Structures are given as C-alpha cells and as structure tokens.
Chain A
Amino acid sequence: MRHPVELKGRPASDGIFAGPVFFLSTADAVRQASGDPAIERRDFDAAVAAAIAGLGALVAIAEGEGAEMLAFQIALLEDDALLAPARDLIGQGKPADIAWRKTVDAEIVGYEMSDDDYFRARATDLKDMRDRVLRQLSGTGGLGSQAGAILIGDDVPPSLFLEADWSKGGAIALRQGSPSSHVAILARARGVPMVVGLGDIIRDGHSEAAIDGAAGLLVLSPDAPQKRLWSAKADALSARRDREAPFLDRPARLGDGSRIELLINVAEPEELAVLDPGHCDGIGLMRSEFLFRDGRPLPDEETQYRAYRRLLDWAGDKPVTIRTLDIGGDKPVKGLTPEGERNPFLGLRGVRLTLQRKDVFTAQLRALARAATHGNLKIMVPMITLSAELDETAVLLDQVMADLARDGVAAKRPPLGIMVEVPAVAVAPELLAKAAFFSIGSNDLTQYVMAAGRDEASVAALGDPAHPAVLRLIAHVANYGRERGISVSLCGDMASEPRHLAALIAAGLRTLSVSPASIARVKAALAEIKPI
C-alpha cells in the first residue's frame, strides 16, 4: 500500500476526477526486447502499420492544419527512406524500439537545426510520430485501454488527446506543459480536468489518483479518508453533469419555452474538432488572435482566408462572428503592439491599433470578405469608442470590396458589428447606431467600469460583472438594441456562469455566447429561469 503523495501544479482545465492512473511518457514504457531480430522486425512492422492505421482514423476527425500534420506523419511512416535504416539496425541485432528511436532522432536533429521556423516546428510532428510507434512497441499502444483513467506524462501532443476515449471520463496530469497549450484548449473544450507543471511524478507503484483541475491538485494513491472526500466531490460533479447532459443537444430555452440563441466563444479552431455544431446556434465570438501569435511571422491573407473558411465549413449555415485582431492590453505581439505603454489596457489596443496598421487590417478584412462567400460570416470590431472608428473601418471594408471586385475575386461584404466593452459606448450606444450588431464584452466592460485591472489579483474582488453598475449598462444596451432593432448579445465569461444568467435574462438579453464546455450547463440553468 502506497502512501498518498500530493502534488501541486497549475490549473489548465477545471473538473474533478478520481480513477486509475495511466503513465504515458515513453520513458516509462519500456519494451521487453525479444533478442530475436526476426521477432523484433515483425513487431516493428506491426507497430508502424498500427501507427498508420491510428493516424488514418485521426485524420478523419481532425480539422485543418491538424489533419495536414497527421497526413505528413502518415507519409513519413510509409517512406522506406525512413524505415530502412531502422530495419537495418534491427537486422544487426538492435531491439526494435532502440533502432527506431535512433533512426528518427537522427532525422529530428536535421529539423531542429534548421534556420527556418516552419521547418523547426516540424520536429514536434516527428517526435509525435516516433512516440506513436514506440507506444505500439511497448504495448501501451492504442489508447483505448486508457478510457476512464488519469493520463500522466511529460507533455502530450494534441493528436494523442484526439485519439483518446473520453466518454468514460478521465483526466490529464503533466509534469511539464502549459495552460495555454493546444491540449489544454482541447481539454477545456471537452471538459476534461487537466493540471500542468506538476514537476516530477514518480511512477513508483501508484495505481490510482485523484485530480482537481481548478485547484491544480493531483493526489497519487489517496488514502481511505481522502478517497471518500474525493469520490464525494467527483460524485457531486458527475451527478451535476448527468443532470445537465440531456440538455446538450436540445435548443436553449427559458422555463417558459421561449428560445435563447446560444452561441459559443472559440479561441482556437482546433477546439471545433471536439465540438458538435448541432449543440449550439453558431459561433458568437471567434477570436482571430490565434493567427497572430507572438514570435511568429504575421499571417498573410491566404493563410487567414483558409483558417476562416474552415470555421465556416464547420458551422454550415449557422452564424460565425469573427472578431478582428484584438491585441494590445494583456495580449502583446512583437512588432505590432507598442512597447513600454504605462497602462496598456487604456492604450493602443483592438481597433485603435489596427486602424494604425492599415496593412495588417486590410489583409484581415480582405480574407474575411473572401471567406464570407462560404457561409454566414459577421465581422466584429473590438474596443470601439467613437463612431468615427467604426466609420473608418467601414470605409476600409468598402475599399477592400472594391479592390476584390476589380480583381475579379469572389467576395461578400459581411455585416459590421462592434464589441461593447468601452463604457462610453455602453452609456451612449445611440452614437453607434450604425453598427450591424452589438456584442457586450462583459470582461473588459467590468474592468473599465469598476476600474479594477483583470490581471491584478489584489483588486480581483472589485471585478464583479454582476455589480449593479455593470448590469445597468448591460440592460441599457439591450434595451436600446431592442428599440432600434439592433441585435445584442453578450460574450463575456459571465454568460458561461449559471449564477449570472437570471440577471442577464432580466436585463433583456436573449442571445448569449458561452465557452463550449459550458453549453449543457448553461442550457440546464436557462431552463430554470422564468422570465418576468
């Protein structure tokens, strides 16, 4: 019987889970070498074939760039130029796993040494491919056996997350990793508890564990009292989930049956791989910042066009609201955002910045206008304060439409709406009556109304989106929109929290955009609300 070991890491995805552990890292999974080259060769060929089959299944469910990188791995595993050196080493008596690792690692070095960012990034794909075959060789193979377990590893690639079966619950605990990684994004979208940065997790005979995603806590081999405590927590959570689950694929309605338009907020297109468009009424906020990551080259029009197309393809005829670049504030991008601002949240961010970088703004508007021919796309402009800013954006969009028409490129002018997050707009929305729609960004609106920075822990208690001052502004905007026939939605975090929903409905909102993992929860909570 092992003593309990408590480890503290960083929260990456909320939720509680207790169950068996499943150690992922290849360092933990050692192959028992047979000593017979013929058997090693047979196992090696079988492992490669199994890895290709697994990848083929993944390609079918992965989206966009993810799918392309999986196709790249398949092509590598079908290439004799890669397999032959490994088979030669096996023929010379090396165990299959060692031969394979040596061969692929030699190839990886070539990628890692490259001076080309894109080429260097492919090293991750090669490692993923290498580990995929190694898992097969060590018998930890297909992740089917992991269903309902806590996966423990150094870090995990997104493909492995997509490969795993989460229908029986499960969780992820990583020695390294980051809350902003793609896997963390997928885990949040899918509602899988996850903790990162746990440091050394020693295998050491542990066979079960408990995890609290929100607290960033992992307990290996919990003792009897701990187990009771954790299973009570986990039971409460799963009872809640069971209660909410039936709501997932129903339309969102209030207690009186009236319909609520429930949209989702998306930060990364990869999230869509684990989401069913049938569960929501569209995308209420697609952040475009995923294309503009710090330290990477700026995306050109073509790259953006393809990314926006994929979102529209996923949504079918449902609306997809894409927010134009919203960097600055707490989201710096080198070469775009100003350096040394004394108060970045009150500085050059959102549309204030893009109007100064017309080259970047124009490329994005062109990509959006071209993509708009493939679905129901809307453009949302962040950080609007004055109507002049919306006018200037509209002129730019007109220019883009004229240029595209002149060049004979298919395009459509999407409706141009705004984020309502600057108090000046929330107080006097009539000054922006030209906007096609309003979407209230309650996170920023709250920080500006309460004068409490979102990133300041010391004033976090002041940042209450349910403060009467904030709610009054929300109601004001909702009422103005209703009178003037301008649709109003709310896409801040408060819409995903059941405790705030009654206040938002009372404020007159009937369109909400929420985090994907909270769809069932929000629908269940809405059904309890009786509108006045």
Chain B
Amino acid sequence: MTDWTSSSVVIRHKVGLHARPSVKLTQLAKTFAATVQIAGTPEGPWIDAKSIVKVMAMKAKQDSTLYLRASGGDAAAAVTALAGLVERDFDEDRAHAASG
C-alpha cells in the first residue's frame, strides 16, 4: 500500500488545463522526486503529473476540480506547490507583472 498525500483544487483558468498551464504544471511536478499524480475525480484514473501528453489528454475544463496526490520523500511539498500553482491561476498575471 502506497502512502499518498492528497489535495484538491478548482481550476479557474479560462481555457482549463491547456497547453500553457499544462507546461507549467508538468515543469513544476518534475522538480520533485516524489511520484505525483492528478485525476479528474477522487477515484481516478490517476495519471502522471510529470507527463504533458497525459495531462493534456485529461482535457480538464474551467471550474472543474483537480485532484492531486503524491508519494515519496517530498510528497507533501509537491502537493502544496502544485495546488498553489493552480490556485494562483498558473501565475499568469504574476508572470506578466514580472516581465514588465
């Protein structure tokens, strides 16, 4: 039995989990050693949050809930960081403020 650290977060992004947000999500997931998975329902199917192909294939839409879970050394940090990214709407406004 794997020990999972779990969380869930609502996607507010206008077009949902599309190319730009998906790239950010997978890039962030890859910075953790833990196995990180996401799903569209609490029951799964769970997919690898480090795979852009799989994340895009979820076609998660705006206002849908994203379920997150991770296991491994930095699992708790991974779940917090990923949920935070989605909550901050993938840092799109912040990124733009920083670029100007």
Contacts and interface: CB of A to CB of B under 8 A. Distances in A.
Interface of A: 68-69, 71-72, 75-76, 78-82, 107, 110, 114, 116, 118-119, 122, 125, 300, 302-303, 306, 309, 312-313, 374
Contacts of A313: 99-100
20 contacts: A68-B19, A68-B23, A69-B19, A71-B23, A72-B22, A72-B52, A75-B26, A76-B53, A79-B51, A79-B52, A79-B53, A81-B54, A114-B59, A122-B18, A302-B14, A306-B92, A306-B96, A309-B100, A312-B100, A313-B99
B76 to A, nearest CB: 25
Nearest to B25: A75
B20 interface: yes
B19 A125 contact: yes
A92 B97 CA distance: 50
B57 interface: yes
A320 B4 CA distance: 52
B63 to A, nearest CB: 15
A82 B54 CA distance: 9
A107 B99 CA distance: 34
B51 A119 contact: no
Given A68-B20, A80-B51, A122-B18, 14 more contacts: A69-B19, A72-B23, A78-B52, A79-B51, A81-B52, A81-B53, A81-B54, A114-B59, A116-B59, A119-B59, A122-B19, A309-B96, A313-B99, A374-B100
Interface in B37-68: 48, 51-54, 56-57, 59
Interface of B: 14-15, 18-20, 22-23, 26-27, 48, 51-54, 56-57, 59, 92, 96, 99-100
Contacts of B53: 76, 79, 81-82, 107
A107 B19 CA distance: 15
Contacts of A79: 26, 51-53
A72 B20 contact: yes
Contacts of A114: 59
- Please classify the interface of chain B as helix (H, G, I), strand (E, B), loop, or mixed, using the class held by over half of its residues: helix
B20 A75 contact: no
Given A309-B100, A374-B100, A75 B23 contact: yes
A331 B62 CA distance: 31
A81 B59 contact: no
A295 B79 CA distance: 39
Contacts of A302: 14
Interface centre among B20, B53, B59 (most CB of A within 10 A): B53
Nearest to B18: A118
B45 to A, nearest CB: 14
A374 B99 CA distance: 10
Nearest to B15: A118
B57 A110 contact: yes
Contacts of B52: 72, 75-76, 78-79, 81
A84 to B, nearest CB: 10
Contacts of A82: 53
Nearest to B54: A81
A131 B22 CA distance: 22
A56 to B, nearest CB: 14
A347 to B, nearest CB: 33
A455 to B, nearest CB: 35
Contacts of A122: 18-19, 56
Given A114-B59, A118-B15, A306-B96, A81 B48 contact: yes
Nearest to A69: B19
Contacts of B18: 118-119, 122
Contacts of A72: 19-20, 22-23, 52
A298 to B, nearest CB: 12
B38 to A, nearest CB: 14
A207 B29 CA distance: 49
Interface centre among A110, A119, A125, A309 (most CB of B within 10 A): A119
A79 B47 CA distance: 13
